[in-house]
Amino acid sequence: MIQGRSHFFAFPHTFHQRDHDRVITELQEAGATGVNLALNYHASRDFLLRQGPSLEYLADGFHYYKPDLSQYPIEGIRPETRDHWPTSDLLNEVLDSAGRLDFDIAAWGVFLHNGAIGKARPDATVANALGNHFLSELCPSNLSVQGYVQGLVTDLSSRGVTSIAIESLHFHGARHGEHHERFFLEMSKTTEFLFSLCFCSSCMAVFESRDGNAEELKVRVINALQPFLQDTDPWLNVNLTEDLLNEIVGENISAYLRTREDTVTNFYAIALEIAHRSGVTLRLVDQSPLLDYSDNYPLDSSWLVGLDFKRVQNYVDAYEPLIYRLETSHVEEVTRHYQERIGTKIIPILRPTYPDNFSEKGLREKVATLRSLGITDVDFYLLDTMRTRDLNWIKAALT
């Protein structure tokens, strides 16, 4: 017997030109009780098996349905016609099939990692102290971006989904923003953080409104980066901490970090209110475990992207950490860490495929370990890349 709830993260492509009832029945036989369906996603190149085999190029910041622009505030950014499907027919048909078959459809959105909007609106993107824009990252402090997020949550909540899995609703680091990146410089975590710290006009204005001196801090960060830019990174093999940042650029940085966290926390508070108004729950897909794959205490690093987990957990119905770890012992350690620090429901996300898993036995051990910790719900990423073998392994692990 299948135990608990289990969603598979999936692209809409998995339903394209296939009988939706048959797809859902197949997933139910594999142990899925629903899917987290990507309705807004970033650019990627994926080798997908369920649609091919096929090498697919996913468009940047694309909405896999037709957005209802009336749900977006006038002052906010709205999806362009080129960035969405012409109709919502596929989504509506999948929802109809799911309703008949007692299968759950949740929306999955990648909110602020959006190069389509970034390239069209550079003024709405993260800009570092050197004036470089990260066009793939929208800035949470920007009022137009805030309007876009509010509209996206409102729009998705009105579609008939039961919940929204929110990913990338925070600040981001310097790397993993584009397809083919080149950083031919040895960069410490401290330098990467200072390099990616946003000093756009919106971030600076918010800080100034709280009596902070944003310009002074910006100059200090520019000066701190000079040894790295001219010669050698001075903080290689040095642990990145807030105390270290205080030493490097002054204690003003702490107030700046708290301002970032307040901005992000407010996002989740607004999103939860909108979702609950429509009877939709909200889940945070937490990328903190991916900041350092060797770190099994990832919540201690979530401040790097502006997430104050102690506060944000109050504005989500579930915390979903991406526990991409090879060893079962590491999966257990990370999960225990979340259980000790997070007061809301925890739904671990496992990757049953390479590079995290190589056997049915390994996956069964991980799921059994989670069960022993009292975890009832487990999600799996990514359906579209799974072999039939992987679905069989999941079924065995969940049974």
% pLDDT > 70, the chain = 98
Query: What is the pLDDT averaged over residues 261-268?
Result: 98
Residue 3: its pLDDT value, please?
A: 67
pLDDT for position 50: 82
What does the mean pLDDT of the chain come to? 96
pLDDT at residue 83 in the model: 97
Whether pLDDT at 2 is above 70: no
User: What is the pLDDT, as a whole number, of residue 77?
Assistant: 98
User: For residue 60, what pLDDT band results from cuts at 50, 70 and 90?
Assistant: very high
The three state secondary structure string of the chain is CCCCCCEEEECHHHHCCCCHHHHHHHHHHCCCCEEEEEEEECCEEEEECCCCCEEEEECCCEECCCCCHHHCCCCCCCCCHHHECCCCHHHHHHHHHHHHCCCEEEEEEECCECHHHHHHCHHHEEECCCCCEEEEEECCCCHHHHHHHHHHHHHHHCCCCCEEEEECCCCCCCCCCCCCCCCCCCCCHHHHHHHHCCCCHHHHHHHHHCCCCHHHHHHHHHHHHHHHHHCCCCCCCCCCCHHHHHHHHCCHHHHHHHHHHHHHHHHHHHHHHHHHHCCCEEEEEECHHHCCCCCCCHHHHHHHHCCCHHHHHHHCCEEEEECCCCCHHHHHHHHHHHHHHCCCEECCEECCCCCCCCCHHHHHHHHHHHHHCCCCCCEECCHHHCCHHHHHHHHHHHC
Q: 223: number of CA atoms within 13 Å, CB side?
A: 9
- Say which residue, 264 or 43, is predicted with more confidence: 264
Percent of the chain with pLDDT over 90: 92
Choice between 52 and 331, residue whose per-residue pLDDT is larger = 331
Residues 202-220 pLDDT 10s = 999 999 999 999 999 999 9
Residues 6 or more apart in contact with residue 154 via CB below 8 angstroms: 71, 72, 274
| pLDDT of amino acid 98 | 98
The residue-averaged pLDDT of 182-194 equals: 90
- The separation between CA 46 and the C-alpha centre of its own chain, rounded to angstroms, equals 18
The 10s digit of each residue's pLDDT in 280-307 is: 999 999 999 999 999 999 999 999 999 9
Of 40-49, 158-167, 248-257, 378-387, where does mean pLDDT reach its minimum? Answer: 40-49
**pLDDT for 1 beyond 60:** no
Average pLDDT of the residues in 332-352: 98
| pLDDT mean over 76-101 | 97
The answer to whether residue 187 scores a pLDDT higher than 60 is yes
* Domain ranges for the chain: 7-398
Q: Which residues contact 88 (CB under 8 A, 6 or more apart)?
A: 65, 66, 159
Q: Which residue has the higher pLDDT, 128 or 174?
A: 128
Give the model's confidence band at 180: pLDDT under 50 very low, under 70 low, under 90 confident, else very high: low
CA–CA distance, 324 with 330 (Å, rounded to integer): 9
Beta bridge partners of 45: 57
Residue 178 has pLDDT above 80, yes or no: no
Evaluate if residue 395 carries a pLDDT over 60.
yes
The answer to whether the CB of 372 falls within 8 A of the CB of 336 is no
Listed residue (169, 99, 163) closest to 377, CA to CA: 163
Query: Is pLDDT of 17 > 90?
Result: no
For residue 378, what pLDDT is reported? 98
Q: Does domain 7-398 match CATH 3.20.20.80?
A: yes
